[in-house]
């Protein structure tokens, strides 16, 4: 079993959301651990949120299961039914196809980190219930110039 060196993994900062939806996620850093190991069937990212940062816009997935495990700090999980405080050692999961918009927010004065694990279904798509934004199928295989990962809910690309 090859050991993954996080220092050699791809690091992504902020988000790929179109403006202005990217702004709350500016303090997000992801280390793409599963990709560093050559895995393609599921993703595992080590995510760190600076104080005040969001992990994402509130969203749901049509075909992708999603799981988070909090490593350090405290995060507020915001879902359709309200808010839940998550601390180190807590986890949460969302089944594919359940339209429960969710995201994590760091409302503390310290960084917080968590692992996020999800299937990488190329046909997955989903929506953001609070804003006019949808992510489209094929986002894992998109290359520069291949079209937008995001669209308005009526299908117009960003």
The domain 6-151 is placed in CATH, from the list 3.40.50.300, 3.30.70.20, 2.40.30.20, 2.60.120.10, at 2.60.120.10
* HEC string for 9-53: CCEEECCCCCCCCCHHHCCEEEEEHHHHCCCCCEEEEEEEECCCC
Paired with 66 in beta bridges are 94, 118
Task: Say what the pLDDT of residue 76 is.
Answer: 98
At 45, list the tokens. 């990212």
Residue-by-residue pLDDT tens, the chain, 158 positions = 589 999 999 999 999 999 999 999 999 999 999 999 999 899 999 999 999 999 999 999 999 999 999 999 999 999 999 999 999 999 999 999 999 999 999 999 999 999 999 998 888 999 999 999 999 987 665 444 444 589 999 999 88
Task: Say what the pLDDT of residue 140 is.
Answer: 60
Task: Say what the pLDDT of residue 135 is.
Answer: 93
DSSP state of 101: -
Paired with 49 in beta bridges are 28, 112
């Amino acid at each position: 079993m090859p050991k993954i060196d996080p220092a050699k993994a791809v690091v992504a900062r902020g988000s790929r959301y179109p403006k202005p939806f990217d702004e709350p996620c500016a303090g997000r850093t992801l280390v793409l651990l599963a990709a560093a190991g050559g895995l393609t069937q599921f993703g595992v990212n080590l995510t760190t949120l600076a104080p005040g940062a969001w992990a994402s816009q509130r969203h749901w997935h049509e075909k992708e299961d999603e799981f988070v495990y909090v490593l350090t700090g405290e995060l507020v999980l915001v879902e359709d039914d309200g808010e839940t405080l998550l601390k180190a050692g807590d986890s949460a999961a969302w089944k594919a196809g359940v339209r429960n918009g969710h995201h994590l927010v760091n409302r503390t004065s310290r960084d917080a980190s968590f692992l996020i694990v999800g299937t990488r279904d190329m046909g997955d798509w989903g929506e953001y219930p609070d804003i006019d934004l949808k992510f489209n199928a094929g986002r894992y295989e998109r290359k520069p110039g291949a079209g937008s990962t995001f669209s308005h809910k009526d299908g117009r690309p960003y």
